[in-house]
Chains A and B, each alone.
Chain A
Amino acid sequence: MVAEELDGQLVLLDEQTARLHVLNPTAALVWQCLDGEADVATLSAEIAEEVGADHDTVYRDVCDLVGRLAQDGLLEGYEPVDGGGATGEAGEHDSPDLQSPSSA
């Protein structure tokens, strides 16, 4: 996975599929914190404290985001946790298909 930051948003290239994924600033922050060691509860607590938001709300949103990132193949070692299913306002992202244009 390689990344380019553009105006606070993170665009990820899945090198295996050549697909792009766009993460808004919140999703980008979460994704960058997912280093293979952090757990969602600890990460959520840190984000909630940092931004001054309700911990339960942040936890639900982060669970939902992580689930969707994993569904799109952007994470390894994901194990679903209870508390997901929030509306996902914290980290919507797009995963378009790519096709090389024809030449003529």
Chain B
Amino acid sequence: MTARWVGRFAALQHRFAVEVDPRGEGIVEDLRHVLAPLWQEGSGRLPTYRLGPVPGDNERWQLDLDDERVGERPSLGHAVAMLLWHVNYQAIQRSSRSHLLLHAGVVARNGQAVILPASMESGKATLVTALVERGWDYLSDEAALVTDDPLRVHAYPKPLSIDRGSHGLFPEVSARVRDLAGCAARQWHVPATDLRAHSIASAARPAAVVFPQHAPNQQPAWAPLARSQAMVRAANCTFQWDLDAPARFHDLGRLLRGVEHCATLQTGPLDETTALMETMLGPSPSRASR
């Protein structure tokens, strides 16, 4: 039986195609929807992910990238999660070799980007989701690719990955989440256009570097940060820093000299946190609308 074609996509410098064994046909449309912001036109062969059942097994599924086995998982939903993880991993590995790539969320308004560097479990995806709902444009919840001449941060509009612990914060989103064979029970994968139509920006000039910090039961607080201290924090959020530290060091210097604001942001309740950002950086021009 012929595999079901999902499409061609580009995640930063990782260009790939996806197809699914006919026994997984039910998720093809959902995968297309979730990956739609990464959709790429064109022809010619690309490295292709294939989701298929493990031969001789009624439940386990495997993921291959061309001839290479990526892994096996106990269900289709787990295998879809592995696919999305591997896409992200390859995007970061390939794109951070020769560019400054920060582990960061990125939002923008009026062509001016706010880069939110933060470690895992820092709440940046939750903050980015809240900001996009409230009118900010979406560039990424994972990585900021920065180039200079001119200084720009480029979009990596992967589906927002919202962990189970944050699901209750976005009740209006829950009705639009695609199940992906049960993958959504653990983590939602939501294209930004499901939060707000036309919310994805392609690139923007970096205007601020803001380091979110999350601790339970805290009130939002903004604290300006010296560029030198921002350099240290941003270096800790730079993918593959060790690969070419001098180049990344100078890239960071150019970025930080080019932005108007460096600050830390203690996050709290989302309404208050986003309101504080708008107070410090100016209001978003449009509120959420669908």
Contacts and interface: CB of A to CB of B under 8 A. Distances in A.
A4 B257 CA distance: 10
A103 B93 contact: yes
B238 interface: yes
Interface stretch (B35-43, B132-140, B222-230, B277-285): B222-230
B221 to A, nearest CB: 22
Chain A interface bracket (under 10, 10 to 19, 20 to 34, 35 or more): 20 to 34
Nearest to A101: B103
A22 interface: yes
Contact of A2 (B239, B249, B256): B249
B228 A11 contact: yes
B232 A11 contact: yes
Contacts of B249: 2, 4, 13, 20
Interface in B78-113: 85, 88-89, 92-93, 103
A10 B232 CA distance: 12
Contacts of B239: 100-101, 103
Contacts of A10: 228
B209 to A, nearest CB: 12
A101 B118 CA distance: 9
Contacts of A20: 231-232, 235, 249
B240 interface: yes
A6 B120 contact: no
A9 B228 contact: yes
A101 to B, nearest CB: 4
A28 to B, nearest CB: 10
Find the residue from B93, B227, B228 having the highest chain A CB count within 10 A: B228
Nearest to B238: A100
Interface of A: 2, 4, 6-7, 9-11, 13, 15, 18, 20, 22, 94, 96, 98-104
Given A11-B231, A18-B241, 9 more contacts: A4-B231, A7-B226, A7-B227, A20-B231, A22-B229, A22-B232, A101-B238, A102-B120, A103-B88
12 contacts: A2-B246, A4-B250, A6-B228, A6-B256, A15-B245, A15-B246, A20-B235, A22-B231, A98-B235, A101-B103, A103-B89, A103-B92
Interface of B: 85, 88-89, 92-93, 103, 119-120, 226-229, 231-232, 235-242, 245-246, 249-250, 252-253, 256-257
